[in-house]
Chains A and B, each alone.
Chain A
Amino acid sequence: MKKIGSKLIDWIDERYDLTPVRNLLLHKKVPEHRHSVWYYMGGVTLFLFLVQLFTGILLLLYYRPGEDSAYESVRFIVTEVKFGWLIRNVHSWSANLLVLFAFIHMFSVFFSKAYEKPRELTWITGFIILVFTLAFGFSGYLLPWNELAFFATKVGTDIVGVVPVIGEPLKTFLRGGEEVTGATLSRFFGIHVAILPAIFTIFLTLHLLFIQRQGMHEPEHFKNLPEEKKTYISFFPDFALKDLLLWVVVFNILIFLALYSPWELGNKADAFASAPSGIRPEWYFMFMFQSLKLLPAHILFLEGELLGVLFFGVAGFIWMLVPYIKVKHRPNWKIQPLTLIGIIIVAFIVIMTVLGYII
């Protein structure tokens, strides 16, 4: 086995010179310290994205976009196609786990300040990837064309329309018309399987490239250690094997969820039926949805909803530019101001999400 492997590598090396690859594999090192568990989060997110890609392509072989066929094709996949139920449920669950781990990864990077110079662009591309991931989730959610998805899309695009000047045209653009119809489905399908994957790949590649080029970030407490005290493990094979271990565990949990908590088929969407009571967005939009719900109808002369949407837009933009925000270090403070803000943001998101479900 090993002989065949090394022969193959030699064959490729002769033609394409694998020196840079060899260098990376042999020399890339990962710092080992009490917080290095967070280094795995990005990898898990990447793994889940690959699962999405794979299961998504499989589903693509049977799914049919279109008002008259989408729901029925999903039904077909889940009932007639062998293991279709598994592929579909893995895809739905992996989407949710993907968003969860993306958030965990982002906040762990924030709190360890890994976004600081020279890694500003890594952070920015990362944030853009997060937004695309949410867009994947939003567009994909409509594709089974059931009641819940239909109304969630209606409400979601309505909120987009609240933005001044560009809101209405953007809403019409997203919906492919005035209302959510089969045209919206076609559009979301194109966005979900072609447009988003294409742009996503570009930003993901940049993100990964930057990381490989710059190596892993070392947190303050590690950087300040004397050289001998710094422990590193080589990326290949040690860190990679640990990565693999974690991935297999996550994969197993994914399949468990797919089997024991399957996604329902729901009822086919009917544009003329009244919205079922208590429609909610997916949990990763819940904190924004709940905040908008809690805002009063009018604040000063502005509509509450408008203010909320603008607030989140601006907040997101500022968040993306966090690497450029310089906050003076306060030596007396136990928790530094930026970290404090981060904690408040996380608490806000968690509380709003929970409220969305219990209210």
Chain B
Amino acid sequence: MGKRFYYFLLSTLTVSFLFGFAYAEKENKKADQNQKVDQCFVCHKEIENLPKDFSENDIHRHANLLCSSCHGGDPNSDDQDVAMSPSKGFVGVPKRKDIPKFCGKCHSNINIMRVYQPRIATDQVEQYYTSVHGKKLLAGDENVAECSSCHTAHSILPAKDPRSSVYALNVPNTCNKCHGNSSLMKNYNIPVNQLEEYSKSVHGIALLKNKDISAPACNDCHGNHGATPPGLKSISHVCGTCHVSNMEFFNATRMARAFEEQDFHGCEQCHGNHAVQKPNDDMIGVGKESKCIDCHSEGDKGYNVSKNIHSSLTQLKNEYDAANAKYLEVKQIGMNDVEIGFQLQDAKQALIQSRTLIHTFDSAKVGAKAKEGIDISNKASLLAQKEIDDYSTRRNGFAIATLTFLVFVIALYFKIKDKEKKAS
């Protein structure tokens, strides 16, 4: 009984195992077949002929798209003639002027795109053809930017990905690839110093040096796919996306209308565009650096308004600086600086608001806000002075106390001496 039973068990187990193994293999093969094998990639990798900008992180690759999804052909065949046959839909490398349509095959079709991102925009190609790049491309110019110029072809990453060529920090350099190339830009009469200027500007320093991605890059003012330099009407709106108060004040003034009539460039007229710096108070007023005297001359109303605004601001700035200097002294000598700090904060707020109010070109408004700031600065100065005075009062008090102690000590000393003399 024992031996036979044992052999029976062993054979049953072996057979089951073999069957199981075969079954698993079959399932594996089926799964393999469902997982499309991208023969294009396999072959091109083997012969080391992948596109120069090929990246494993490319977003289309991540979405499990194959080479054939864009280029056509048969991804299952390892026979080049079959795989790259036009009859199988192979289109090869698209010509430059066809690239927008090439990408637009999917990216303009919401029915396709919603599978991957329900909210994604599908108007990129449409916008592109309204842009300078798009219009020129249609007219036959092959030297302009198309989709892959900015996005790359095979290392496309979402704009939020810091490695992407269209990530906020990388945008200036991406645009500069062409716009900084003087031989390329010569034909269009476009200067090539924009990146250089931008890097020195407030926005450029904020973005490139301080890595603040909320600062505007090229696309924030020029647009993405519909990239066009802002028209005269749009300049203040463009700047006004962030600098709302300045825009609202400016647009309500007569100056805004005058600017329009004279075809002036709105904000850019005084602040510049790419090289925009932190403004200083001397840009207003009647001094050498003033922008106002470019048009206004002595005697006219604008001249006087400019002069008044400048003097209000200068007065406030001086009072604020004086109060701040006292505040630092209080801090340094170790006296109580908290309340003074708060008041200075308020004064600073008034200073910022006064400067913003310049854009109303109304010296009364600026003057009123400046006066607020001046009053607060004075209060802060007084408080600081009190602390500084307290500091010397303490030392004087100490001097007096020391004096009394000294009197006591000297008198005591002599008293002791007297007692000793008496004792001896």
A interface list, Cβ under 8 A from B: 79-80, 85-86, 233, 237-238, 241-242, 244-245, 248-249, 251-252, 255-256, 259, 262, 264-265
Shortest Cβ distance from A117 into chain B, in angstroms? 33
- Choose from B402, B412, B413 the contact partner of A256 (Cβ within 8 Å): B402
A238 to B417, CA, bound (A): 10
A53 to B409, CA, bound (A): 24
Please tell me if the beta carbons of A248 and B402 are within 8 angstroms of each other in the complex. Answer: no
Question: Is B408 part of the binding interface, using a Cβ–Cβ cutoff of 8 Å?
Answer: yes
Please tell me if the beta carbons of B398 and A244 are within 8 angstroms of each other in the complex. Answer: no
Question: Is B95 part of the binding interface, using a Cβ–Cβ cutoff of 8 Å?
Answer: no
- Choose from A86, A233, A237, A245 the contact partner of B413 (Cβ within 8 Å): A245
- Choose from A80, A241, A251 the contact partner of B416 (Cβ within 8 Å): A241
- Choose from A79, A86, A245 the contact partner of B336 (Cβ within 8 Å): A79
Please tell me if the beta carbons of B394 and A251 are within 8 angstroms of each other in the complex. Answer: no
Please tell me if the beta carbons of B402 and A252 are within 8 angstroms of each other in the complex. Answer: yes
- Choose from B335, B338, B412 the contact partner of A245 (Cβ within 8 Å): B412
Please tell me if the beta carbons of B336 and A238 are within 8 angstroms of each other in the complex. Answer: no
**8 Å CB contacts to A: which residues of B207-245?**
none
- Choose from B336, B338, B401, B413 the contact partner of A255 (Cβ within 8 Å): B401
Please tell me if the beta carbons of B398 and A255 are within 8 angstroms of each other in the complex. Answer: yes
A233 to B422, CA, bound (A): 13
Please tell me if the beta carbons of B419 and A259 are within 8 angstroms of each other in the complex. Answer: no
With known contacts A80-B336, A249-B409, A259–B398 Cβ distance under 8 A: yes
5 additional A-B pairs beyond A238-B416, A252-B405, beta carbons within 8 Å, are A79-B335, A242-B416, A255-B401, A255-B402, A259-B398
Q: Which residues of A contact B336 (CB under 8 A)?
A: 79-80
Question: Is B3 part of the binding interface, using a Cβ–Cβ cutoff of 8 Å?
Answer: no
A262 to B409, CA, bound (A): 25
Highest count of chain A CB atoms <10 Å: which of B395, B408, B413, B416: B416
Shortest Cβ distance from A71 into chain B, in angstroms? 14
In the complex formed, the residue of A with least CB distance to B402 is: A252
Question: Is B415 part of the binding interface, using a Cβ–Cβ cutoff of 8 Å?
Answer: yes
B interface list, Cβ under 8 A from A: 334-336, 338, 394-395, 398, 401-402, 405-406, 408-409, 412-413, 415-416, 419-420, 423
A–B pairs, 15, beta carbons within 8 Å: A80-B336, A85-B394, A86-B394, A233-B423, A241-B412, A241-B416, A242-B416, A248-B408, A248-B412, A252-B401, A252-B406, A252-B409, A255-B402, A259-B398, A265-B334
A255 to B405, CA, bound (A): 11
Q: Which residues of B contact A251 (CB under 8 A)?
A: 405
Shortest Cβ distance from A257 into chain B, in angstroms? 11
Please tell me if the beta carbons of B412 and A244 are within 8 angstroms of each other in the complex. Answer: yes
Please tell me if the beta carbons of A259 and B395 are within 8 angstroms of each other in the complex. Answer: yes
A-B pairs, 7 with minimum CB distance: A79-B336, A252-B405, A259-B398, A245-B412, A241-B416, A248-B409, A248-B405
- Choose from A79, A238, A245, A265 the contact partner of B409 (Cβ within 8 Å): A245
Please tell me if the beta carbons of A259 and B394 are within 8 angstroms of each other in the complex. Answer: yes
Interface of A is mostly: helix
Please tell me if the beta carbons of A262 and B334 are within 8 angstroms of each other in the complex. Answer: yes
Q: Which residues of A contact B412 (CB under 8 A)?
A: 241, 244-245, 248
Shortest Cβ distance from B18 into chain A, in angstroms? 59
Shortest Cβ distance from B139 into chain A, in angstroms? 62
Q: Which residues of B contact A252 (CB under 8 A)?
A: 401-402, 405-406, 409
A259 to B409, CA, bound (A): 21
Number of A-B contacts (CB under 8 A): 45
A252 to B335, CA, bound (A): 23
A233 to B419, CA, bound (A): 11
Q: Which residues of B contact A259 (CB under 8 A)?
A: 394-395, 398
Please tell me if the beta carbons of A238 and B419 are within 8 angstroms of each other in the complex. Answer: yes
In the complex formed, the residue of A with least CB distance to B390 is: A85
Please tell me if the beta carbons of A245 and B416 are within 8 angstroms of each other in the complex. Answer: yes
Shortest Cβ distance from A252 into chain B, in angstroms? 5
A86 to B393, CA, bound (A): 13
Shortest Cβ distance from A76 into chain B, in angstroms? 10
Shortest Cβ distance from A346 into chain B, in angstroms? 30
A67 to B334, CA, bound (A): 23
A252 to B400, CA, bound (A): 11
A264 to B419, CA, bound (A): 45
In the complex formed, the residue of A with least CB distance to B333 is: A262
A252 to B406, CA, bound (A): 9
Q: Which residues of B contact A241 (CB under 8 A)?
A: 412, 415-416, 419
Please tell me if the beta carbons of A256 and B398 are within 8 angstroms of each other in the complex. Answer: yes
Q: Which residues of B contact A233 (CB under 8 A)?
A: 423
Shortest Cβ distance from B406 into chain A, in angstroms? 8
Shortest Cβ distance from A92 into chain B, in angstroms? 14
Shortest Cβ distance from B405 into chain A, in angstroms? 5
A245 to B395, CA, bound (A): 23
A248 to B416, CA, bound (A): 15
Please tell me if the beta carbons of A264 and B398 are within 8 angstroms of each other in the complex. Answer: no
In the complex formed, the residue of A with least CB distance to B335 is: A79
Q: Which residues of B contact A85 (CB under 8 A)?
A: 394
Q: Which residues of B contact A237 (CB under 8 A)?
A: 419
Shortest Cβ distance from B142 into chain A, in angstroms? 57
A209 to B206, CA, bound (A): 74
In the complex formed, the residue of B with least CB distance to A246 is: B409
Shortest Cβ distance from B269 into chain A, in angstroms? 48
Q: Which residues of A contact B419 (CB under 8 A)?
A: 237-238, 241
Q: Which residues of B contact A249 (CB under 8 A)?
A: 405, 409
Q: Which residues of B contact A248 (CB under 8 A)?
A: 405, 408-409, 412
A284 to B405, CA, bound (A): 30
A243 to B383, CA, bound (A): 44
Q: Which residues of B contact A264 (CB under 8 A)?
A: 334
A166 to B419, CA, bound (A): 58
In the complex formed, the residue of B with least CB distance to A251 is: B405
Shortest Cβ distance from B126 into chain A, in angstroms? 52
In the complex formed, the residue of B with least CB distance to A252 is: B405
A249 to B336, CA, bound (A): 31
A256 to B272, CA, bound (A): 60
Please tell me if the beta carbons of A238 and B398 are within 8 angstroms of each other in the complex. Answer: no
Q: Which residues of A contact B335 (CB under 8 A)?
A: 79
A248 to B406, CA, bound (A): 9
In the complex formed, the residue of A with least CB distance to B398 is: A259
Shortest Cβ distance from A246 into chain B, in angstroms? 9
In the complex formed, the residue of A with least CB distance to B387 is: A79
Q: Which residues of B contact A242 (CB under 8 A)?
A: 416
Q: Which residues of B contact A265 (CB under 8 A)?
A: 334
Shortest Cβ distance from A28 into chain B, in angstroms? 16
Shortest Cβ distance from A237 into chain B, in angstroms? 8
Q: Which residues of A contact B338 (CB under 8 A)?
A: 79
Shortest Cβ distance from A10 into chain B, in angstroms? 25
A249 to B402, CA, bound (A): 9
In the complex formed, the residue of A with least CB distance to B394 is: A259
In the complex formed, the residue of A with least CB distance to B413 is: A245
Q: Which residues of A contact B395 (CB under 8 A)?
A: 259
A259 to B334, CA, bound (A): 11
Q: Which residues of A contact B398 (CB under 8 A)?
A: 255-256, 259
Shortest Cβ distance from B212 into chain A, in angstroms? 25
Q: Which residues of B contact A86 (CB under 8 A)?
A: 394
A244 to B412, CA, bound (A): 9
